Amino acid sequence: MSYEDVKKVWMNGRLVDFADARIHAFSHVFHYGSAMFEGARVYKTRNGSAAFRLDEHIKRLYDSCKVYRMEIPYSPEEFKAAILDTIRANGFEECYIRPLVYRGLGALGVNPFKSPIDILIAVWKWGKYLGDEAIDQGVDVCVSSWNRMAPNTFPAMAKATGNYVNSALIKMEAITNGYTEGIALDNSGRVSEGSGENLFLVYGGRILTPPLAGTILPGITRDTVITIARDAGYTVAEQQIAREMLYIADEVFFTGTAAEITPIRSVDRIPVGPGRRGPVTERLQKDFFGLLSGDIEDRYGWLTPVLVEARV
Ligand code: PMP
């Protein structure tokens, strides 16, 4: 990952140079993880650059902030315009988008109300999250010894930066033990999600994914996959999943803005099916990437044109 191309960062209503995109060391967020954020992407489609499901990402950001009693001093439309301005200011035809709403410099007690709501929007170029070959070849993952947060501890439906200390434990353990990613179980021992991805299985002729019951992020790619899978004629069920189903499923895959649709070829060194990407995963990838490239018509209205002027 490189930030060399990043020219401008949006901070509290102004586009500032990358080098000036700083926050004070006494900011509440730095001490207590008090920020809500998003991760969205701009794709270069055959009809020009377009942000994928930007309205849904903005909606989730406002929802996250609502849970944490943070009021964003802009309307969602203004926020969207600011995101599009930031992309254009950087001239990126393809990029990752990272809006962040955080508690800034105020009072360094736990009470967040005494610190202001500050906002930044960062964009940068980001390639394949789980490796260049992951999309075709699949990744090797483990079941983490770390659980995902239990319901009513850290609200999993809010995308808070603080939640990602748990994700970091899952990711570090996986990498240290030679895996690309870890799958966390919830506090009752059922399958939850990866450190930064939702999870799907193909089992018994159906596509299964854990429900929104307080241990997973309501992924926008998850919703995308549920929609395109149903439209392709598959049965999709949101249901609790036992750990051992990961080992006996025909196919397992991750979804996420960063991970897109990434097949999982082994779990704890046990091959998933024949140990390579399965036909359902491949079909869903085809539909998904077809939408993102513009080869398949966007009948869902998921693409927002960015109208970027490419840098020369
Ligand atoms: N779960 C977690 C913990 C995540 O961080 C992400 C990435 N935002 C996801 C799932 C996937 O969500 P989305 O498809 O909206 O990127």
220-231 and 54-67 helices, crossing angle to 10°: 130
Q: How far is the CA of 220 from the centre of ligand 1 (A)?
A: 7
Quick check: 250 pLDDT over 80?
yes
Q: pLDDT tens, 154-188?
A: 999 999 999 999 999 999 999 999 999 999 999 99
pLDDT given at position 312? 55
Q: Could you say which of 8, 44, 80, 159 is catalytic?
A: 159
Question: Which residue minimizes the CA distance to atom 11 of ligand 1?
Answer: 256
Quick check: 118 pLDDT over 70?
yes
Task: Kindly compute the dihedral angle of the four CA atoms of residues 204, 207, 213, 215, in this order, to the nearest 10 degrees.
Answer: 100
Q: Is the CB of 196 under 6 A from ligand 1?
A: yes
Q: What confidence tier does 114 reach under pLDDT thresholds 50, 70, 90? A: very high
Q: Is the CB of 287 under 6 A from ligand 1?
A: no
Q: How far is the CA of 71 from the centre of ligand 1 (A)?
A: 23
Q: Copy the structure tokens of residue 192.
A: 């939850």
- Among 43, 195, 217, the mutation site with the greatest number of ligand 1 atoms within 8 A of its Cβ is 217
pLDDT given at position 310? 61
Among 45-54, 71-80, 125-134, which stretch is predicted with the lowest mean pLDDT? 125-134
Question: At 237, which amino acid appears?
Answer: A
Q: pLDDT tens, 124-138?
A: 998 777 777 999 999
DSSP string, 67-105: HTT---SS-HHHHHHHHHHHHHHHT-SSEEEEEEEEE-S
Question: Which residue minimizes the CA distance to atom 2 of ligand 1?
Answer: 196
Catalytic residue check, 159 = yes
Q: What confidence tier does 42 reach under pLDDT thresholds 50, 70, 90? A: very high
Q: pLDDT tens, 290-305?
A: 999 999 999 999 999 9
Q: Is the CB of 217 under 6 A from ligand 1?
A: yes
